[in-house]
Structure 1
Amino acid sequence: MSKMTRFTSLCKEITENILDSLDLVELSSLATMTSTLHTNIDEYIQRCRRIIFARFISNIQEFVGLLQGTGAVVSGSCALNLVQARQGAVAINDLDIYTTLQNFKDFVQFFTETEHYTVIRNINHPPPGPYNSSGMAKLFRLQNNGRNVDIIVTNLSSAISPIFQFHSTIVMNFISAEAVFCAYPGWTLDMAGLVHPRMYKQNATNFATVKGLAKYMQRGFTVYLEITELAVHESRCVKMYYCPQITRSTNDKGKLAWVAGHKETATGALGSANYIDTKAVIWSLGGDQCYNERVSGSPSFVFAT
């Protein structure tokens, strides 16, 4: 009897215990062993997602349908929790939904009429400009029996785009209708992250961003300002996915993505399958930190194709 056969023959409680100790990279690697393991791990990840959503939502299937129909995503502590191993994962606070100006009313209606939440805050932000480049157009905070849902509305073309403007790489993760995504898995799953250079290069630092960084430091993450403290950074740096100067994509091989229900395993990628989105988001952290002086000092950017 092979080791994999012995693993799949373990009782449900023991198997669940083992899976709870593995993060998304480890689960993805284990899933490549056999098709049975791939199916079991896919079911496990989807079950974990349902457990997270069930903390805030009764009609999960309808909510996932909304995500799929609008291209909206869930980010924040929910996404980070799903990327990490369940044993020791960060605590979940709120459900943070990112959507566009074209679709936000669908989510407000769903939570107020179907899930019986109450809107307690409705904030309008100015569009991006020289002194406000966040891409945030509106913010709705809703409550129901102590549960908080934030609907963050962007005036960018993709709901995913603002995630790559966040204060650090720690929170550049999301859950879509089809996938669980992590932009910087090597750092994130090692409880580390790089402060986004736009925080200090493009006047994006304020009390809220400092408070956000402090929150993740309190959760055990180490946040770095210098890329050299996180990774080897030398003359070939711009060819590495973790160089702040490289142009990244939600479809590149530097990310971690698990695609729900996908039958094929990836070759050379971290997730169960290459995450191919026809509306890929392109970004670069930019900043001054690079061995290569030709690219050092470039601005950060994000746009959707």
Structure 2
Amino acid sequence: MLRTTRGVVSGSAALLMATDMAFRPGDMDIYVPASQDQTALAIAQKRLGFTLKKSSARTYQNNVDIKRVHTLKKGPKKINIITTKGENAMAAIFQFHCTVVMNVLTAAGLYCAYPMLTLEHRGVVNLPVLLKDSSFSRRTRACFEKYRDRGISIESRVTAFPGRTHHECHIAAECPRTVRSTSDGKGLYVELFPRKENEKERFEADEYTTIWMLGGPMCCNGNTYCNGFTKSIQASAITVSTRPDAAYRATNHPSVRRQY
């Protein structure tokens, strides 16, 4: 399905693949581009044997890229096919509430946007658009509690974590004020599935580079808040970076060796 629809798996299932954590995901979230909505549904029902239970034009707080959610079941198994408003399914991922769930499983492999924090079971809150009352919805607060119960430490600032009181603001991969992209070499990519001979060297699910910045308090000024953003740029191909930065160092982390 992922290869055909240019979709990605995110949420708890991708986090489980990215770390050495041990928990059972409640369901699987599959994000697909707007044009692949019906194709994804057809594959899930006709080829995989799932039954459609409900479809809704569901909105998530601060996530403007989600258009519709289809819930399907097959016995005890449950999947959510989440259709995005545009053709870049990954754009919605970087509007999530926390960095710990900014991981995606594509048809080719696994991408983790904040590998050093995620492998340390840490997450930084993301508030893409500042709310008038600076609060989260009940659904988002429940998500925070779910991941805390699984052993994840969640803070509003990366400097709140022990050992991370200092970093290069606007430059360090884990800094919320750093403008990031899926091709900046600061994420961790692990190829899991062999590419076909006619496929290009890329880790994106489609022909887009996603650029983003987290929203929330400034690291260097606790009284200043910034709006985050997410942008999609169409590209011919996205090449996996091999620069010796955070993405390279993360491949030597014990969790990665055990998982892969």
- Smaller-chain TM-score range? 0.7 to 0.9
* RMSD of Structure 2 on Structure 1 (CA): 2.6
**Greater length-normalized contact order (CA 8 Å, ≥ 6 residues apart):** 2
May I ask how many residue pairs the two structures share in their alignment?
223
User: 1:134 Cα deviation (Å)?
Assistant: 3.0
Pick from 142, 145, 163 the counterpart of residue 75 of structure 2. 145
SS of residue in 2 equivalent to 1:161: helix
User: 1:79 Cα deviation (Å)?
Assistant: 0.8
Task: State the match for 1:245 in structure 2.
Answer: 177
User: 1:292 Cα deviation (Å)?
Assistant: 6.6
User: 1:113 Cα deviation (Å)?
Assistant: 1.5
Residues 1-305 of structure 1 correspond to what in structure 2 (within 5 A)?
A: 63=1, 67-85=2-20, 88-125=21-58, 133-198=63-128, 201=131, 205-230=136-161, 231-233=164-166, 236-260=168-192, 275=203, 278-291=207-220, 297-305=225-233
| 1:121/1:262 CA distance change after superposition, 3 Å | closer
Alpha-carbon distance between aligned partners in 1 of 2:111 and 2:39, rounded to the nearest angstrom: 24
Alpha-carbon distance between aligned partners in 2 of 1:170 and 1:199, rounded to the nearest angstrom: 19
| 1:227/1:200 CA distance change after superposition, 3 Å | farther
Deviates most, 203-212 or 247-256: 203-212
| Structure with greater helix percent | 1
* Contact 1:195-1:224 at 8 Å conserved across structures: yes
Alpha-carbon distance between aligned partners in 2 of 1:146 and 1:68, rounded to the nearest angstrom: 25
SS of residue in 1 equivalent to 2:116: helix
Alpha-carbon distance between aligned partners in 2 of 1:132 and 1:180, rounded to the nearest angstrom: 25
* Contact 2:129-2:228 at 8 Å conserved across structures: no
User: 1:92 Cα deviation (Å)?
Assistant: 2.4
What are the superposed Cα offsets for residues 90-125 of structure 1, whole Å, 9 maximum, x if unpaired? 322212100121101111111112222111121114
Amino acid paired to 2:140: T
| Structure with greater strand percent | 2
Alpha-carbon distance between aligned partners in 2 of 1:157 and 1:297, rounded to the nearest angstrom: 30
* Contact 2:10-2:31 at 8 Å conserved across structures: yes
Q: Percent identity?
A: 28
Alpha-carbon distance between aligned partners in 1 of 2:150 and 2:63, rounded to the nearest angstrom: 27
Structure 2 length normalisation: TM-score? 0.77
- Structure 1 residues without counterparts, runs of 5 or longer: 1-62, 264-272
- Structure 2 residues without counterparts, runs of 5 or longer: 196-200, 234-260
